[in-house]
Chains A and B, each alone.
Chain A
Amino acid sequence: MLLDLRILAVDTVRVCWRLFPQLLTIYLLGWLASHLALKMAVIVGDISAWAALAIFAFSFLFTLVSIVIILRLCGRELGVWDLMPAEESVADGRDASLTRMLAVTLLPFLGLYAAFGQIDEAAGDLYTEQFFRNSIFGPKSVLDVVRAMANEHPWQLLGILVAIYLLRRVVDALHERTGIRPLGLAVALLESFFILVVLFGGFSLLTRVRFWFRARQYNAWIAELRDGFSHLLSLVNVRLPAVATRLADFVSAEVWPVLWPVVSEPIIWLAVASLVFGSQVLSLAELWRKGQPIANRIPGASKFARRSDKLALRRVGPPPRGVKRVGVEIKEAFLGDVDDKYLPTFHSLQLVLRAGIVFLGAYVLLYTAIAVIKNSIDRLVDFVVGGREVAFWFITDPFLDLIENVPAELLRLCLLAVAFRRCLEVFQLRGQTGAAPAPPPPVATPADENQPVRPAVPA
């Protein structure tokens, strides 16, 4: 039962130890680039808040690039690709192109960062840096400018959001047609910028819309209906509302605050990591389970195919022309992302959840153990350095963060790669016991450094 725990723990430490110099170098380069982008954003913020936000977007991009490279290094060391049949390699180019990889992973990555507070944290850093540079009497911070626009000129902000989105789609299309690499980077940057504007200003807009809806008459009707229903239940002596309220309170106050960071974060991270490994993992799992479906051999037939391939596969006859073509293009501009970015993340999540409760429990436990290590280092640093005035932290924080983050972050990324490989092994095992023959597991000896860390899938 605890085999998963042992495999995950041992392989994580091993792969981290073996690749430590490379992983550390990449992590430090990412950290340096990210901090330089932040510093640049602060300086540029004196001139233009929007330009500062664009440069700030680079900060996340550099972090993601380092994470992607580290994950792929670990994946190679672990022989992740050896566990996939060659004919199942991804057709969307993410294996060959870093920019394509960024395009696929940036959206879920930033979503993940936003959900778990890292974007707020980075925005706080930007605010603090600007505050220290200009004092409270200096120019407005980047965040203040975007939020002010959301509150005072919501239509302008909406227009900016739509314009950025369309621009990104245009550059994306150009990149796909021409294959020019800088265009791919521009797409990633535009996407990052778009998401930051949404996070900093778009949510203020949403709040305004929500308040507007709340002030409508129909809300009073809904409230009356709800009260009437509660009254009806009280007449039949069913204390459902009280029970439901108590249950909702318990879940929101006790269960959710623990479950959200402890369970959701590792699982969603693993889903995003599986995107980095670029496999058609779900179709692969299906392949092992059901045999070799022909759908996996046809471009656009798998769940991970690009939307353009899927549409090409579905379309009968020549492509639409004229006004109809414009309509299709506009529809594509808004729906393309759903298929190309959200659905692969969703499918990856499905894959991870299918790996089994014992595997998930072991993985969550180790992921949390790494978080505990990070918290402990954090405490140790605070204990050693002691309480200080804010000016001290302003200067030393980036370096102290490094001390706190390097061991935990490298271990965490190694664990993600190891867990993903274990996921594949679990599906492979199920396939072996099921209908179809599975590809042979990689075999290595301790002397063979180029092979995966662990020799074979234990029975």
Chain B
Amino acid sequence: MSRQVATSKLVSVLVGLALIVVAAVGFRLSSQPEGFEIVRGTLGDVTRYNKGSAEVTSVRVGTELRDGDRTVTTPGMFVVVRLTVTADRTDAVKIGQTQLLADDATYEHFGIGDSVAADAGFSTSRDVAFEVAPGRLTDLTVEVYDIGVVSGYHQRLRVHLGITKANAAEWAAAAQGQRVNFDNNEYSVGLS
């Protein structure tokens, strides 16, 4: 009899624990993973972003970065892209943060300045540079977004630069000894 009671108690404990484990797993799976929406764009194509549009063009790689009369070299590799934001509606559009995502690394922008802003009716462009490791280039993707002091569920535009596992070594080799011209200024044009 007492053995039956002990078995029953053991089963109760196991059932109770199993229910708690199921709850814990369910809770973990349902938790919000990221506080942003990922918008995919294509290199060279205009993509709707926030209340306007954005575009990533002109991918250049090298080991020397030339900004006016200053030249910087790296033991790794520089990747420079041109960002363009267009405010074709009634509100301004801004990119506040830019980073480069690789398969196994995240690179912050190189030097000062990575923000681009366009007032309503304008289109603004600028170069953004990244210093990357030649061995970690697979799936390099530019990610741009804008969060200030406070933020909500926001958009992040991601544009794949076309560097894959298959051609990463070729990109790294192509960068060796190359000088990349970098323009740190923003250029705006009025929309017609």
Measured CB to CB, the residues of A under 8 A from B are: 1-2, 5, 127-128, 131, 136, 258-259, 261-263, 356-362, 364-365, 367-369, 371-372, 375-376, 378-379, 382, 385-390, 392-394, 397
A382-B37, A387-B36 known; A365 and B152 CB under 8 Å?
no
Which A residues lie within 8 Å of B11 (CB)?
1
Report the Cα distance A258→B22, complex, angstroms.
11
Are A1 and B150 in contact, with the CB atoms below 8 A? no
Q: Which residue of A lies closest to B13 (CB)?
A: A357
Question: Which chain A positions have C-beta within 8 A of B31?
Answer: 375
Q: Is the CB of A389 within 8 A of B51?
A: yes
- Let me know if B12 is at the binding interface, CB within 8 A: yes
Q: Please tell me which one of the listed residues A263, A382, A387 contacts residue B20 in the complex, with CB atoms under 8 A apart.
A: A263
Query: With A and B bound together, what is the CA distance between A328 and B99 in angstroms?
Result: 65
A128-B150, A358-B12 in contact; A5/B23 too (CB < 8 A)? no
Cβ distance A263 to chain B, nearest Cβ, rounded Å: 6
A372 adjacent to B16 (CB under 8 Å): no
Whether A365 lies near B19 (C-beta < 8 A) is yes
Please measure, in the bound complex, the distance between the C-alpha atom of A372 and the C-alpha atom of B23, giving whole angstroms. 9
Residues of B within 8 A of A365 (CB): 19-20, 22-23
The reply to whether the CB of B189 lies closer than 8 angstroms to some CB of chain A is no
Between-chain CB contacts (< 8 Å), 30 pairs: A1-B12, A2-B15, A261-B27, A262-B23, A262-B24, A263-B23, A356-B16, A357-B13, A359-B16, A361-B15, A361-B18, A361-B19, A361-B20, A362-B19, A365-B20, A365-B23, A368-B26, A369-B26, A375-B30, A375-B31, A379-B32, A382-B37, A385-B153, A386-B37, A387-B154, A389-B154, A390-B147, A390-B148, A390-B154, A397-B152
CB of B4 within 8 Å of the partner chain? no
Contact residues of B with A, CB < 8 Å? 11-13, 15-20, 22-24, 26-28, 30-32, 36-37, 39, 50-51, 146-156
Q: Which of A259, A356, A379 contacts B24 (CB 8 A)?
A: A259
A397 and B27 CA atoms in complex are apart in Å by 23
B154→A1 contact, CB < 8 A: no
How far is A362 from B23 in the complex, measured between Cα atoms in Å? 9
Whose C-beta in chain B lies nearest to the C-beta of A382? B153
Q: Known contacts A1-B15, A358-B16: does B149 contact A136 (CB below 8 Å)? A: yes
State the CA gap A222–B51 with chains docked (Å): 60
Smallest Cβ distance from B12 to chain A, in angstroms? Answer: 5
Which residues of chain A come closer than 8 Å to B18, judged between CB atoms? 361
Q: Are B19 and A5 within 8 A (Cβ)?
A: yes
Which A residues are CB-close (under 8 A) to B20?
262-263, 360-361, 364-365
Interface contact A387-B37, CB-CB below 8 Å: yes
B22 partner residues in chain A, CB cutoff 8 A:
365
Chain B residues contacting A360 (CB-CB under 8 Å) are 16, 20
Q: Which residues in A have their C-beta under 8 angstroms from that of B146?
A: 389
- Shortest beta-carbon distance, A392 to chain B, in Å? 7
Q: Tell me, rounded to whole Å, the shortest Cβ–Cβ distance linking A31 to chain B.
A: 19
Contact: A386 with B23, CB < 8 Å? Answer: no
Interface SS of chain A: helix, strand, loop or mixed? helix
What's the nearest-Cβ distance from chain A to residue B46, in Å?
A: 18
The one of A262, A358, A379, A388 in contact with B27, judged by C-beta atoms closer than 8 angstroms, is A262
Please tell me if the beta carbons of B151 and A390 are within 8 angstroms of each other in the complex.
yes
User: Which one of B32, B151, B155 contacts A386 once the chains associate, using CB atoms below 8 Å?
Assistant: B155
Report how far A365 CA is from B15 CA in the complex, Å.
12
Q: List 15 additional contacts besides A262-B23, A376-B30; criterion CB under 8 Å.
A: A131-B149, A258-B28, A261-B27, A262-B20, A262-B24, A357-B15, A358-B15, A361-B20, A364-B20, A364-B23, A365-B22, A369-B26, A372-B26, A382-B153, A389-B152
In the bound complex, do residue B152 and residue A393 qualify as a contact, i.e. CB atoms below 8 Å apart? yes
Instruction: Knowing A358-B16, A379-B32 are in contact, say whether A390-B23 is a contact too (CB < 8 A).
Output: no
Say whether B12 contacts A356, CB under 8 Å: yes
Contact indicator B152/A390 (Cβ below 8 Å): yes
- Asked if A371 and B15 sit within 8 Å, CB to CB, the answer is no
Residues of A within 8 A of B32 (CB): 375, 378-379
> What residue of chain A has the Cβ atom nearest to residue B28's Cβ?
A258
Interchain CA distance A425-B21 in the complex, whole Å: 25
A contact residues around B156 at 8 Å (CB):
387
Closest to B29 in A: A372
Chain B nearest CB, measured from A106 CB (Å): 28
* Residue pair B150, A390 in contact (C-beta under 8 Å): yes
* Chain B residues, CB < 8 A from A136: 149
A120 to chain B, nearest CB (A): 14
Q: Is the CB of B155 within 8 A of A361?
A: no
User: In whole angstroms, how far apart are the Cα atoms of A259 and B21 in the complex?
Assistant: 9
Min Cβ gap B74→A in Å is 34
CA distance A452 to B39 in the complex (A): 52
Complex CA–CA separation, A371 to B36 (angstroms): 21
Given contacts A1-B12, A375-B30, contact A388 B24 (CB under 8 A): no
Instruction: Tell me whether A258 and B27 are in contact (CB under 8 A).
Output: yes
Taking CB atoms, residues of chain A closer than 8 Å to B151 are 390
* Nearest CB in chain A: distance from B65 CB, A: 32
- Please name all residues of chain A whose beta carbon is closer than 8 Å to the beta carbon of B30 when the two chains form the complex: 371-372, 375-376
Are A357 and B16 in contact (CB-based, < 8 A)?
A: yes
Q: Point out the residues of chain A lying under 8 angstroms from B12, CB to CB.
A: 1, 356-358
CA distance A362 to B28 in the complex (A): 18
A141 smallest CB distance to B (angstroms): 11
Chain A residues within an 8 Å CB radius of B23: 262-263, 361, 364-365, 367-369
In the complex, the 10 A-B pairs of residues with the closest C-beta atoms, listed nearest first: A361-B19, A357-B16, A393-B152, A387-B155, A387-B37, A361-B16, A368-B23, A372-B30, A375-B30, A365-B23
Chain A nearest Cβ from B146, distance in angstroms = 7
